[in-house]
Structure 1
Amino acid sequence: MGGPLIVVPVSALAVWRGCSESGVMAGDATAPDDYDRACAVDGLAGVITVGENGAQALVLADEPATSCYLPERRAFLRWLAADSEAGLRAAAEAVLAAPATEWEECGAWVSDGPAVLMDSAEAGSELGIEYPGGGMPAQASVPLPVGRWRVRATHTKVDEENWVGLVQLVPTES
């Protein structure tokens, strides 16, 4: 379905249903499914509930850009434009270090530990199941500690070759 990407706690993967025929986008229902709710996030990032036990997921909204997690910076790096991975990472470090970076505040997220970065259209319970035509759903582990985070994001053009997207988790007091 093409994103947005979402970060779902490992503890809640089984209840993330993704895109379903009972949803608005893929079906003819009037009630949104999980994928519909992820797509409804405005701005560069946002938090939505997962299941009925109070778990939360972080939506990396906008486009399904190639993304990775930088644990030492507690930031998701999104490849918007770059000639190389090295150039992209250097640009990201420059943006993270610059006090003048303009950040969009994207709410608060409570995490209960490790999570998985994935396409929000996928069901968490089907991540390990091969597609009928071959291939596996893309996913990446996110070694996240338990915590409360302020979520901030930016899309910044660093120079003519490098344009980075960042979604950073800033620890907050509990």
Structure 2
Amino acid sequence: MSVSSSPEAHASCASPVWVESMGGPLIVVPVSALEAWRGCTETGVMVGDATAPDDYDRACAVDGPAGVIAVGENGAQALVLADEPATSCFLPEHRAFLRWLAADSEAGLKAAAGAVLADPATEWEKCGTWSSDGPATLMDSAEAGSALDTEYPGGGKPSQASVALAAGRWSVRATHTKADEETWVGLVQMLPIES
């Protein structure tokens, strides 16, 4: 038996951290660009009376199950898990985000996701290319990256999960698959693009 010391191998042994949204899309922002992600602001279109979209407005505008948008002005990109605000986690061993569309249990959902990922007949939708410089954070797109560690007035902090990811260019694909009558699996997977 071999032992791997990679962050992805260690992360796959632990139970995943599930992230919920307040109703909008979840987003994966590189740690290096978190400070540049402003989220939902009073100067945006959704909350304010502005005509220029804020970061949250841009995340909400992503069409399809996933897409990539710019973060800040330094060329960073974020991956938007769009289509619906499903509670999601990162499965590092598959470089995939698992979206809880419908399931009786986490174990059942993860087992169904494993079967979908292993099935060569699974139909995938292409969702573009994402470039990332390494580790990222899965979070609610309405939150500002700078406020993730700030406690809410009523207690608690914004929902977030670390995403152990190597720097690289990724081809993004997504699927929503009915595994059985009770289990619907949503996946957004990143496949490395060779340079």
Give yes or no for TM over 0.5. Answer: yes
Residue by residue over 1:67-98, the C-alpha shift from the partner in whole angstroms, topping out at 9 and shown as x without a partner, is: 11000000000010001111100100110011
Residue by residue over 1:7-47, the C-alpha shift from the partner in whole angstroms, topping out at 9 and shown as x without a partner, is: 00000000100000000000000000000000000000000
Structure 1 residue 173: deviation in Å?
1.6
Q: Establish whether residue 11 from structure 1 lines up as the match of residue 32 from structure 2.
A: yes
Task: Give matches, 1:38-77, under 5 Å.
Answer: 38-77=59-98
* Local SS of the residue matching 1:32: coil
One of 147, 151, 155 as aligned partner of 1:134: 155
Identity in percent: 83
TM-score, normalisation: structure 1:
0.98
Distance 1:162 1:96 in 2: 15
1:158 is matched with 179
What number of residue pairs does the alignment pair up?
174
Distance 1:25 1:66 in 2: 22
Distance 2:47 2:156 in 1: 22
2:139 is matched with 118
Distance 2:191 2:185 in 1: 18
* Local SS of the residue matching 1:72: helix
* Local SS of the residue matching 2:39: coil
The answer for unaligned runs of 5 or more in structure 1 is none
Cα-Cα RMSD:
0.7
Partner AA of 2:173 in structure 1:
R
* Local SS of the residue matching 2:35: helix
2:105 is matched with 84
Structure 1 residue 3: deviation in Å?
2.1
Q: Establish whether residue 148 from structure 1 lines up as the match of residue 169 from structure 2.
A: yes
Moved over 4 A (4+): none
TM-score, normalisation: structure 2:
0.88
* Local SS of the residue matching 1:19: coil
Distance 2:118 2:153 in 1: 45
The answer for unaligned runs of 5 or more in structure 2 is 1-21
Partner AA of 2:58 in structure 1:
R
